Structure 1
């Protein structure tokens, strides 16, 4: 186990090796984000929390994810499937609010295990049917799956898996998938930003650290975007399932 240090800018300034390690993690995370459209929060939080306190990591990663959502969303703006967001965004906002109440009164660990089982069951289902042959969900399914994603986002800082499942079963092509996911991620990021500010989880020293980590975000997005346009659609679908498998296993353990 690594010795944990503060993620505040003063600590990074005094320990440049920590800044270098954090930058490499962020670069990898946003490379993956640009390739398949999601996963930067999962990778960043999981690895940075080995070095820094998780209560500091989550707010900083939120700001980095906000940058990723804005840049990828702007780059792919014309590829966004707006009808999907008409159901997903309201559901996600409802879920974010509900998750806060659930967190206050429920054993979060048992909910984590349930989520892990749900994700792994979906991955098995998708692999058995083949991802490109999954049944097509109707648009209104975006509301309950958006709520589910919002609850998970409120509890664990990222509600991607249920929304990824929904978008896969809407059979969007890889760029439309990535673009539309940025829309829901942006709404989630903005709501959580205000929550973190209101709860004093996001402080000025952490905000300054975020600024130090923006360059590796930009480099990761640039490099990952180049691969996104080269990866075949089936490889893209299998890559999303592979990352979901990692997420599911992480939640179980």
Structure 2
């Protein structure tokens, strides 16, 4: 592994580079498969897993735009598959908050060191996980719809800074007590908004290039296979197991932000 990581320093996620390094292409494909398997099972987490592992082998400035395109693909496909399950009232509050948060996050990123916010996010996530675990997720208090604005804003800020604002939105949707299909479907709606806005930002900042778009196409089959396999498990697990799986992934995210 150490040799692969060292050799990968000069390897790009552009398709031409992947074709020249089939071993790394296979590793990247395996990472993407696992990430999108998790995404299909619980509705989120693909960005965190993909970025955390792909950056061991490829430059982060290339990983983030490619993962954005993969996440966009996942959001569109899962959103279309679960379209009838989307809870539009939640999105009516989450989307405006998320758009505001993406804007605020861009200013924070430009004008300050976001490390303190990273730690705060880690503490917030772990505190929520501990609270939900002690209370049991199915017994969490029910939030009113307007809570979608501040939690959507928080999620947008995090999305702008770190490429994924899932945790605050996951907490909101859990406390709206949506069933697993509605949770996954509604999350795709807010994720799609985030993906489109960030995609436009990356395009205008020249972070999203033609060669990286081809790299996305090279990894897209792995994400499709992960979504297909994960969806089979999603349809079979019960609601209680689904809720606990989301808390496990949130705990991993919280620890990552603290570390």
Per-residue deviation, 1:111: 1.1
Q: Report deviation, 1:42.
A: 0.4
Match of 1:249 among 236, 246, 255: 255
Structure 2 gaps of 5+ residues are none
Helix, strand or coil: the match of 1:193? Answer: helix
2:230 is aligned to 224
Listed one character per residue, the Cα deviations across residues 152-202 of structure 1 (whole Å, up to 9, x for unaligned) are: 000000000000000000000000000000000000000000000000000
Match of 1:77 in 2: 83
Counterpart CA distance in 2 for 1:104 and 1:218 is: 35
1:200 aligns with 2:222: no
- Which of these residues, 214, 218, 224, is aligned with residue 220 of structure 2? 214
Q: Does 1:8 align with 2:20?
A: no
Alignment of 1:51-200 (within 5 A): 51-200=57-206
- The alignment's TM-score, normalised by the length of structure 1, stands at 0.99
CA distance in 2, matches of 1:246, 1:238: 13
The separation in 2 between residues aligned to 1:138 and 1:210, in whole angstroms, is 39
Distance 1:224 1:14 in 2: 30
Cα deviation, residue 18, structure 1: 1.0
Report deviation, 1:106. Answer: 1.9
Deviations 1:95-118 (A, max 9, x none): 000000011122211111110000
Deviations along 1:77-134, one digit per CA (max 9) or x if unpaired, are 0000000000000100000000000111222111111100000000001011100000
Counterpart secondary structure, 2:57: coil
TM (norm. structure 2) is 0.97
Instruction: Write out the 4+ residue segments of structure 1 that deviate beyond 3 Å after TM superposition.
Output: none
Instruction: Please give the alpha-carbon distance, in whole angstroms, between the structure 2 residues aligned to 1:244 and 1:176.
Output: 19
For the residues of structure 1 that align with 2:136 and 2:19, how far apart are their CA atoms?
49
Q: For residues 121 and 95 of structure 1, what CA distance do their matches in structure 2 show?
A: 22
CA distance in 1, matches of 2:89, 2:239: 22
2:36 equivalent in structure 1 = 30
Q: Aligned pair count?
A: 253
Structure 1 unpaired stretches of 5+: none
- In structure 1, which of residues 235, 240, 243 is the aligned counterpart of residue 241 of structure 2? 235
Deviation at 1:243, TM superposition (A): 0.2
**C-alpha root-mean-square deviation of aligned residues, in Å?**
0.7
